[in-house]
Chain A
Amino acid sequence: MKKDDSMVLDSIFFSVPALKILSGVYLELHHGTITALIGRNGSGKSTLLKIASGQIKANSGITMIEGKRIHSKSLRERFRRIGYLPQDSMLPGDIKVSRVMDRFPSIEAMISESKIGSSSNQKVNQLSGGERRLLEISILFSLDRDFLLLDEPFSGVEPKIVDLIIDSIRGEKDKGKGILLTDHMHRYVSEVADNGYLLHDRQCYHLGDDVAGELKKLGYLR
C-alpha cells in the first residue's frame, strides 16, 4: 500500500501528571480498509482517537493525511478529511429527531430500517441508546469524509442495530473510506475489520490481517 494514501499517526506521546498513556504510538489507516484498535480498559484507545481528531493535543507526535502534516491547531483542516464519532453522545438531547433529519436528509435511508424514522417527533434524549448511536453514525457517514474514527460504535447497542451499523460501516469501506474502529465488543470488531492494532503497554502493535486469529492467540477472544 502506498504511504500517501493513508492517514498516519506517528510517534504519539501523551501523558497526564503521574501517568504516561501513550509512548511513541504509530498507526496507519488506509482508504477502503477497516482498521481495528483493540486494547484493555484504560489502555488509551479513546485518547488516541481524541488526539487523531484534534480534541486533545498530544505532548508530541504528528498526524499526516495523504503525506501532508496536519497541524494540531487546524481543526477545520483536519475535519475536512475526517469524521469522528466520540465515545459519548455528541447530539444535543433537547432537539427533535425531525430537526436532525431535516438538517441531514441523506440519513433517512440508513435509519429507515430502525424505529427512529417513526419516532421523528421525539427528542433525541427520548431515543434508546442504540437508536441514538445509529443516528449519530448516520450523520457522520452522511458527511462524506475520507477517514472515519469510530470510538465504541457498538456500546449499548442491541444486536439488530449492531448489524445495521456493521452493514453501513462496510458500505463506507466499499466507497473507499478509511475506517478506524475501536470497541470492547471484540467479536463484532474482528468480524468487520481488515487489519488491526493492539494498544498494549502504551504502544501500538500491528495485528496483521487475521484480527480474530490474533485476538484468540492473545486471549482477547475465545
Chain B
Amino acid sequence: MLLYLVRKYYINSFIFFVGFIIFPYAGFGDFPNLFPKAVFLGGLAGAIFTWYDFRKKQLWPLFDNLQHSKFLILGLMFFSLQLIPPILMLLI
C-alpha cells in the first residue's frame, strides 16, 4: 500500500513538474533557473493533489489502519524530490 502511495505521488508530481517547467520555458525562461523551482512547485502540488485525491477516494482510513502517517510519508517524498536539483548540479 505504501508503494501504491509512493507511485501515485511521484506520477502526480511529475505531471505537475512538466506543467511548471514547460509553460515558463516556452515563455523564454532560463532552464537551469527554472528546474529547481519546477521541482519544488511540482513536488508541492503533487503532495496537495495526492492528499486531496486519496481523501476524495476515501483511501486514507486504510493507511490509518496500517499506521502509516500520511503527512510524514508525503513530507518525506516531497523532500526526496528536492534532492534531485542539487544532485544534478553536482553531476553536470
Q: Which A positions have Cβ atoms within 8 angstroms of B?
A: 53-55, 75-76, 79-80, 83-84, 86, 88-93, 95, 103, 139-140, 143
Contact = CB atoms under 8 A, between A and B. Distances in A.
Given A92-B4, A95-B4, A103-B1, A140 B65 contact: yes
B62 A90 contact: yes
A75 B64 contact: yes
Nearest to A76: B67
Contacts of A89: 58
A32 to B, nearest CB: 21
B58 A90 contact: yes
A86 B63 CA distance: 12
A95 to B, nearest CB: 6
Contacts of B57: 92-93
Contact of B65 (A84, A93, A95, A103): A84
10 contacts: A53-B64, A54-B64, A55-B64, A84-B65, A86-B61, A88-B58, A90-B58, A90-B65, A91-B59, A93-B57
B59 A90 contact: yes
A92 B59 contact: yes
Contact of B61 (A55, A76, A93, A103): A55
A90 B65 CA distance: 10
A79 B63 CA distance: 10
Interface of B: 1, 4, 57-62, 64-67, 69
A91 B62 contact: yes
Contacts of B62: 90-92, 139
Nearest to B71: A75
B69 A53 contact: no
Contact of A90 (B4, B61, B69): B61
Contacts of B61: 53, 55, 84, 86, 90
A88 B69 CA distance: 21
A84 B64 contact: yes
Contacts of B1: 103
A126 B69 CA distance: 28
A152 to B, nearest CB: 13
B65 to A, nearest CB: 6
For the complex of A and B, list the 9 residue pairs with the smallest distance between their C-beta atoms, beginning with the closest.
Answer: A90-B62, A90-B61, A86-B61, A88-B58, A79-B67, A79-B64, A75-B64, A76-B67, A83-B65
B40 to A, nearest CB: 28
A143 B66 contact: yes
